[in-house]
């Protein structure tokens, strides 16, 4: 009798949580069955069920980050199955037709929480933020380098920064927040040749990154490109590039040249 009372009390809390859009956590011994484009069964064992306010369901074991089973934007039902002596939490989707049934035979923990809804994630030290900082003063890369335009659109891609050096050569600058890899070198090479062909002017290519591997450096040298070490630190609420002190007037309108 106490067993059924414990499941009945848990059902009341689970119903209230799901209906109110709170975040729900249930931990206990359960059996999981999935029916959909394929079928699967997860043997009885202790697991955690996480139900969010957007009606997403995720079943976790005590290993790995990803859930063992999950469903998004599902409708929920909670029933007591007296025959199986279990509390059954079901997640159902109609298109495509899918269903997860979680049979809890005993519950160690059940609780709901008021959690804030969706908020915009602010990424400190993004490539866009680093490009914005470099636009203020490109002398940290090379003396006499003047910024012309940020996010120059080409037929095949977008250049982070277009600049001009002291000898009036065009300079394509690509900014990477992590190590420069082979793909980023190929990308810069493509951008440089597109600009040289479009503008009919001598064009250089510089990649700015915290580090670069040996294969990438070899390809960079083969293409006649250049590497500048990007030394930056992440602070709240912004990143900081070392050596960046003064502001430099920025010119726009490269397309008019």
What pLDDT, in 10s, does the model give residues 50-98? 999 988 999 999 998 999 999 998 999 999 998 989 999 999 998 889 9
At a CB cut-off of 8 Å and minimum separation 6, what does 83 contact? none
Q: What is the pLDDT of residue 103?
A: 97
Q: Are 38 and 129 in contact (CB under 8 A)?
A: no
pLDDT at position 156: 81
Please choose, from the candidates 169, 152, 171, the residue with its C-alpha nearest in 3D space to the C-alpha of residue 160: 152
**Per-residue confidence (pLDDT) for residue 252, from 0 to 100:** 33
pLDDT at 244: 46
SS (H, E, C) 76-105: EEEEEECCCCEEEEEEEEECCEEEEEEEEE
Residue whose token pair is 């994630």: 121
**pLDDT at residue 121 tops 70:** no
* Percentage of the chain exceeding pLDDT 90: 53
User: What are 161-192's pLDDT values in tens digits?
Assistant: 899 999 999 999 998 888 889 999 999 999 99
Confidence of residue 1 (pLDDT cuts 50, 70, 90): very low
Taken in order of first residue, the domains within the chain and their CATH numbers are: 2-113 (2.70.180.20), 127-256 (3.40.1350.10)
Phi, psi of 240 (to 5 degrees): -135, 125
């Amino acid at each position: 009798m106490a067993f059924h009372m414990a499941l009945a009390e848990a059902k009341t809390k689970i119903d209230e949580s799901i209906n109110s859009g709170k975040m729900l956590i249930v931990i206990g011994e359960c059996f999981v069955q999935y029916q959909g484009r394929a079928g699967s069964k997860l043997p009885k064992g202790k697991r955690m069920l996480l139900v969010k306010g957007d009606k997403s369901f995720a079943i976790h074991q005590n290993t790995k980050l990803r859930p063992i089973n999950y469903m998004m934007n599902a409708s929920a039902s909670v029933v007591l199955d007296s025959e199986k002596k279990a509390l059954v939490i079901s997640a159902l989707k109609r298109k495509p037709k899918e269903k997860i049934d979680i049979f809890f035979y005993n519950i160690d923990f059940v609780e709901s929480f008021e959690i804030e809804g969706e908020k915009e994630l602010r990424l400190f030290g993004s490539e866009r933020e680093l490009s914005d900082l470099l636009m203020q003063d490109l002398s940290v890369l090379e003396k006499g380098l003047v910024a012309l335009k940020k996010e120059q659109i080409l037929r095949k891609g977008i250049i982070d920064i277009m600049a001009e050096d002291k000898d009036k050569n065009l300079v394509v600058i690509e900014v990477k927040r992590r190590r420069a890899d082979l793909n980023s070198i190929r990308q810069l090479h493509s951008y440089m040749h597109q600009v040289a062909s479009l503008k009919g002017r001598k064009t250089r290519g510089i990649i700015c990154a915290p580090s670069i591997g040996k294969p990438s450096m070899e390809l960079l040298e083969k293409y006649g490109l250049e590497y500048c070490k990007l030394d930056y630190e992440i602070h709240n609420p912004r990143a900081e590039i070392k050596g960046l002190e003064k502001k430099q007037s920025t010119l726009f309108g490269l397309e008019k040249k």
